[in-house]
Amino acid sequence: MSETYTLTREIPVGDAYDLVVAGGGPAGAAAAICAARLGGKVLLVEAAGCLGGMGATGLVCAFDPMADGEKMLVGGFMRELVETLYRRGFLKPGIDPDSWRKKYHVWTPFSAEGLKLVLDEKALEAKVELRFFTRVIDADTDHKKVRGIVLSSIEGYEYIRSKTFIDATGDAVLSRLCGAPCREAGIDTEHIMPSSLAAVFSNLDWSKKNPGFQNPEGVKLIEEEYEAGNFIQCDRHLVGISQIGNSIGYLNGGHIFGLRAARVKDLTEGMLLGRRIVRDNERFLKKYSPACADMELTATASVMGIRESRRIAGEYELNFDDYMARRQFPDQIGVFNKFVDIHPYDCSREEYDRLVREAFGSDRLNPGECFGIPYSILVPRGFENLWAAGRCASSDVKVHGSIRVMPAAAMMGQAAGTAAVLSVRTGRPAWDLDTRELVETLREAGAYLPQRELSETMTRT
């Protein structure tokens, strides 16, 4: 940067809170709602005009697996959410509840509009103060203690004080502003998992066949269409279109490789490319999937579907050895069984083969197994009153490939919101919270935490 401009402003100071949550995706919504239910005065600040994050503005309309083939692993707020969506008719028509309560590696498709509505209701019921169309743009931090943050909205800037803060921005935006140590994909790691622009289509005929393309014949078709000039890139990994309504489907297809979520230029170019890729996939699906023959594009997402960007370096970094060991932690706030799902880093055949090997190979946890997600991956190293939940929690690349998804994000959010309230109540900082009390409080709220041993102190590196 050759030139700089010094910005000096006197800005209004708003109300003070027990907790401010930045970002209202699965992690942030769970954090704010669960903290408010425990009596905290909570402000939830969301850049978009709804809650749900990737599941709503991102049009990513399916929850990852929540059971282990025998029982449901994901309890607490996430379980309540999926059950409410089911009762209200917002899940895929005709879905079997065992899909999320019992089955091994089965996704649960939902309506993005249903998710928005149910989260609105739960947030209002819990008396969370919501602020949409508002971004956290700065932080006032004194030695690993956050005093306040600066918000930007159509009304201008505002300074907000709070006793505690949760970063649920997906991209560790608040943690970085607070000076917490972070790692950025592609800079601090070798690769960046690609992004995708999701889309919703209507007028599908679900009584007809909707073949998958993640098989040798499907991949051959993709290669042929690319050779014929019908695809911008030869992206063999077409996840496909899933039913979410009577005649509606959600497309998770096409990748934007090397996109850095912390760069506006990348995001802008990614959206332009993403919309072209959706059209390529639409033509392909109309040709090869009978269910899609007459479908119409209803909407592409208004935000880029980011899988990997920035994560905090936490008190503990959950790693692949922990995953493979099915490690259980005394301070675990959730357990999970989902394979390491790292989408191809580029369009090469080698990368596609790597994905298939990893997703279906021996690294998969078996039915009945799970690994633990410890509290300490939510705490930026040494911080007193800041937590990071969801996609930006602390893990290595491989474990991130498993826990980056919505059910795990919601479990982390609920734990961070609960921890913030306990911290306010007891005066104990994030880095020294009584994790025995945290686990017991989460269990009371319906979390499934099977560890036998509890510990007052968290797991550390």
Ligand X SMILES: Cc1cc2nc3c(=O)[nH]c(=O)nc-3n(C[C@H](O)[C@H](O)[C@H](O)COP(=O)(O)OP(=O)(O)OC[C@H]3O[C@@H](n4cnc5c(N)ncnc54)[C@H](O)[C@@H]3O)c2cc1C
Contact positions vs ligand X (CB under 6 A): 22-28, 45-48, 53-55, 57-58, 60, 62-64, 107, 135-136, 168-170, 173, 196, 198, 252, 305-307, 390-391, 404-407, 409
* Pairing, β 371-374 against β 332-336: antiparallel
Q: Which is nearer to ligand X, 58 or 330 (CB)?
A: 58
Q: Do the beta carbons of residue 134 and residue 151 sit within 8 Å?
A: yes
If one counts every other C-beta atom within 10 angstroms of the C-beta of residue 46, the result is: 28
Least Å from the CB of residue 411 to ligand X: 11
How far apart are CB 228 and ligand X at their closest, in Å? 26
| Residue placing its CB nearer to ligand X in the complex, 330 or 344 | 344
330 vs 390, beta carbon nearer ligand X: 390
Distance of closest approach, residue 364 Cβ to ligand X, in angstroms: 17
DSSP string computed for 44-85 = EE-SSSSS-GGGTTT---EEPP-BBSSSB---HHHHHHHHHH
Shortest approach of ligand X to residue 310 CB, angstroms? Answer: 11
Neighbouring C-alpha atoms within 13 Å toward the C-beta of 64: 21
Residues 6+ apart with CB under 8 A from 3: none
Nearest by Cα to 43 from 208, 153, 193: 153
Question: Which pair of tokens denotes residue 439?
Answer: 């686990």
Q: Which is nearer to ligand X, 250 or 330 (CB)?
A: 250
Q: Nearer to ligand X by C-beta: 238 or 405?
A: 405
Please identify, using beta-carbon distances, which residue of 163 and 391 lies nearer to ligand X: 391
Q: How far is the CB of 68 from ligand X (least distance, A)?
A: 16
CB of 354 to ligand X, least distance (A): 19
H or E, element range at 17: strand 13-22
Largest CA distance in the chain: 65
For residues 199, 400, 42, 332, the Cα torsion angle rounded to the nearest 10 degrees is 140
